[in-house]
A and B are shown apart, each in its own frame.
Chain A
Amino acid sequence: SQQGEEDPQALSIQEGENATMNCSYKTSINNLQWYRQNSGRGLVHLILIRSNEREKHSGRLRVTLDTSKKSSSLLITASRAADTASYFCATEAGSYQLTFGKGTKLSVIP
């Protein structure tokens, strides 16, 4: 079963704009991860944030985690056409398996 929900389900922006995606989950977690999936292909790991961390940066990516609200957000700054993909959050709760949301489909228009 899906652990959480990404919001919005789909997002369309102009190149150069920022994109923000949100993820909510239901149970306590050890860490939360964000993955990118290009159409019909495998997933690429973007960033991991541990439950005792509140914010993390990696290049143009910024992730926040609010464990009291059981939510996370992924911000992609200065988006590029190559960022067009589906983005998934996944939670890990101690059993090593990842539980994914349904994803946000991002379209970046050149």
Chain B
Amino acid sequence: DTGVSQDPRHKITKRGQNVTFRCDPISEHNRLYWYRQTLGQGPEFLTYFQNEAQLEKSRLLSDRFSAERPKGSFSTLEIQRTEQGDSAMYLCASSYSPYEQYFGPGTRLTVT
């Protein structure tokens, strides 16, 4: 399968714990995006990488959130000191052109 993959698919954690998600983009894609989607809503942009450079960050990305893309390949999204409001689906997407984005299956986070 050469699509975007995300790991884990589901994560249940207790409030206050740290969690880290991984995204592996399509190999030739130099752009990588993170979105968050809550129930009944469309995805909301979090951050964007071109190669290893993080070029944009949403105001939604508080200080507890950090994303990296070392060497311009896979990316990680870490949430520190999780809160119940962080419960959501975290979606990763990649693209080669600045247009069509290919999405992964998402990581569903539940904070108890």
Chain A residues engaging chain B, CB cutoff 8 angstroms? 1-2, 31, 33, 35, 40-45, 48, 88, 90, 92, 95-103
Contacts and interface: CB of A to CB of B under 8 A. Distances in A.
Interface string B14-41: 0000000000000000010101000011
A42 B105 contact: yes
A33 B102 CA distance: 12
Contacts of A43: 43, 91, 93, 103
Contacts of A96: 31, 33, 48, 56, 98
Chain B interface extent, by class = 20 to 34
Nearest to B91: A42
B102 A45 contact: yes
Given A31-B99, A35-B103, 4 more contacts: A40-B108, A88-B43, A100-B44, A102-B41
Contacts of A103: 41-42
B100 interface: yes
A102 B105 contact: no
Interface of B: 4, 31, 33, 35, 40-45, 48, 56, 58, 89, 91, 93, 98-106, 108
Contact of A48 (B41, B99, B104, B108): B99
Given A40-B108, A42-B91, A43-B91, A97 B103 contact: no
Contacts of B105: 41-42
Contacts of B93: 43
19 contacts: A41-B105, A42-B105, A43-B43, A45-B101, A45-B102, A48-B100, A88-B43, A92-B98, A95-B56, A96-B31, A96-B33, A96-B48, A97-B33, A97-B56, A98-B35, A100-B42, A100-B44, A101-B42, A102-B42
A98 B101 contact: yes
